[in-house]
């Protein structure tokens, strides 16, 4: 983690953290206006990376963290989010609309009590309990909803800030609710040890457009491409979104997966040669981004950075005789996973709605995509 130097009063920051199976984004405008998008906990640690970093910067989380946005409830995007919300006592919680569906919360309360259920389910349940205890409603992100529209005075300069949700679309929200209905019909009514499954909700994840002064940022969440029009095409074809300026910075969708890449993102939502940042996903057999995903991004921009990179998730098959020998001696190998990497972009406020170009800092785990060399095929 990049703890130093401390962010200044007249700076804007975008930080992306990724431990190999998780993702968290922090956006800071000056020292007293912060926004948290998703959450992760680095391997071997107990505190969410957002809290660890903000504390290292001397930020008063209770007062300065203004909004917490949960793009979707998959484990790798939500781990530790309830702890962040506990400390951010003045923050507004923003979530996907299907969580408000009348049958969803009873479903969570019934099956989320199972200790074997997914982390995502437990985190959402705890968030909703905290929200009820505070007697504060949460905001729902839907297509083209303005989630923040602020005029901030930062070091004597005016900085206009907008956050707009580009998704989920009505079409996919309805599809997700239908899936939820089928799930409800199939669940056992008496076996409370049943493990509540996560629906396939990448298409209902919250894509965000962020405007800070004279710069724009597109945060792609885990949005994917779908032949039935439930993914990026629906966003790109929306007439309201078409009127918005193109973005200068892109948090690449779904860890750079080729299934989430569309050439139209680059030609219709982004300026040429944008600054791109992404996190990997190294849990399981299929590491993302793979070679094709990296090459796709490198074809579109020369300024792309990944929070950490490994060609293998550490579970490469050993020769049978070596594995057999380790087993005979009672040795269970521990596999090496990437540490939590950090990509930090900072800009200096130079006037009303005028930011300098961005400087980019990388933790030791992070890399520029152009530096990755592949073996010959």
Backbone angles phi, psi at 177, to 5 degrees: -65, -35
In words, the CATH class of domain 11-309+339-368 is alpha beta
* pTM of the entire predicted model: 0.89
For the chain, domain boundaries:
11-309+339-368
In Å, how far from its chain's centre is CA 99?
18
Distance separating alpha carbons of residues 247 and 313, to the nearest angstrom? 32
Q: Which of 250, 255, 251 is nearest to 21 (CA)?
A: 255
Q: Which of 211, 216, 214, 70 is nearest to 148 (CA)?
A: 211
Distance separating alpha carbons of residues 125 and 180, to the nearest angstrom? 16
Q: What is the pLDDT of residue 178?
A: 72
Q: What is the pLDDT of residue 21?
A: 85
Q: How many Cβ atoms are within 10 Å of 193's Cβ, its own excluded?
A: 11
Distance separating alpha carbons of residues 247 and 57, to the nearest angstrom? 27
* Average pLDDT along the chain, 377 residues, taken 10 residues at a time: 94 96 95 97 93 98 97 86 96 84 62 57 82 84 96 97 93 72 62 48 86 98 79 93 98 95 96 98 87 96 94 50 68 64 98 98 97 86
* H or E segment to which residue 11 belongs: strand 11-18
Helix orientation angle between 104-111 and 170-186, rounded to the nearest 10 degrees:
40
Q: What is the pLDDT of residue 225?
A: 87
Cβ atoms of 83 and 125 within 8 Å: the answer is no
Q: What is the pLDDT of residue 334?
A: 55
3-state secondary structure at position 207: coil
Q: What is the pLDDT of residue 174?
A: 75
Distance separating alpha carbons of residues 170 and 356, to the nearest angstrom? 37
């Amino acid at each position: 983690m990049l703890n130093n130097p401390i962010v200044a009063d007249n700076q804007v920051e975008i930080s992306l953290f990724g431990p190999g199976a998780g993702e968290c984004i922090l956006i800071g405008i000056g020292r007293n206006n912060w926004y948290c998008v998703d959450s992760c906990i680095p391997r071997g640690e107990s505190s969410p990376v957002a809290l660890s970093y903000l504390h290292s910067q001397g930020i008063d989380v209770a007062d300065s963290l203004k909004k917490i946005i949960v793009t979707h409830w998959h484990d790798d995007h939500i781990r530790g989010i309830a702890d962040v919300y506990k400390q951010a006592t003045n923050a507004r919680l923003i979530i996907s609309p299907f969580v408000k569906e009348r049958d969803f919360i009873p479903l969570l309360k019934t099956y989320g009590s199972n200790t074997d259920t997914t982390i995502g389910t437990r985190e959402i349940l705890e968030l909703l309990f905290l929200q009820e205890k505070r007697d504060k409603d949460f905001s729902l992100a839907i297509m083209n909803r303005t989630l923040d529209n602020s005029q901030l005075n930062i070091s004597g300069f005016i900085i206009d800030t907008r956050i707009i949700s580009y998704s989920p679309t009505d079409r996919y929200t309805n599809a997700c609710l239908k899936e939820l209905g089928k799930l409800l019909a199939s669940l056992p009514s008496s076996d409370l040890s049943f493990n509540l499954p996560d629906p396939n909700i990448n298409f209902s994840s919250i894509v965000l457009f962020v405007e800070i002064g004279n710069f724009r940022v597109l945060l792609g969440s885990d949005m994917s491409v779908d032949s039935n029009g439930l993914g990026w095409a629906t966003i790109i074809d929306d007439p309201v979104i078409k009127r918005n300026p193109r973005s200068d910075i892109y948090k690449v969708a779904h860890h750079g997966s080729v299934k989430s890449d569309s050439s139209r993102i680059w030609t219709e939502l982004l300026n040429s040669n944008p600054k791109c940042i992404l996190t990997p996903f190294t849990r399981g057999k299929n590491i993302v981004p793979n070679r094709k995903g990296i090459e796709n991004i490198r074809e579109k921009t020369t300024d792309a950075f990944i929070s950490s990179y490994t060609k293998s998730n550490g579970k490469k098959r050993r020769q049978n005789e070596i594995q057999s020998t380790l087993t005979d001696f009672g040795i269970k190998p521990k596999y090496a996973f990437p540490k939590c990497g950090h990509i930090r972009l900072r800009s200096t406020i130079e006037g009303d709605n005028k930011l300098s170009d961005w400087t980019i800092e990388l933790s030791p785990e992070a890399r520029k995509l152009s530096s990755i060399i592949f073996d010959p095929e």
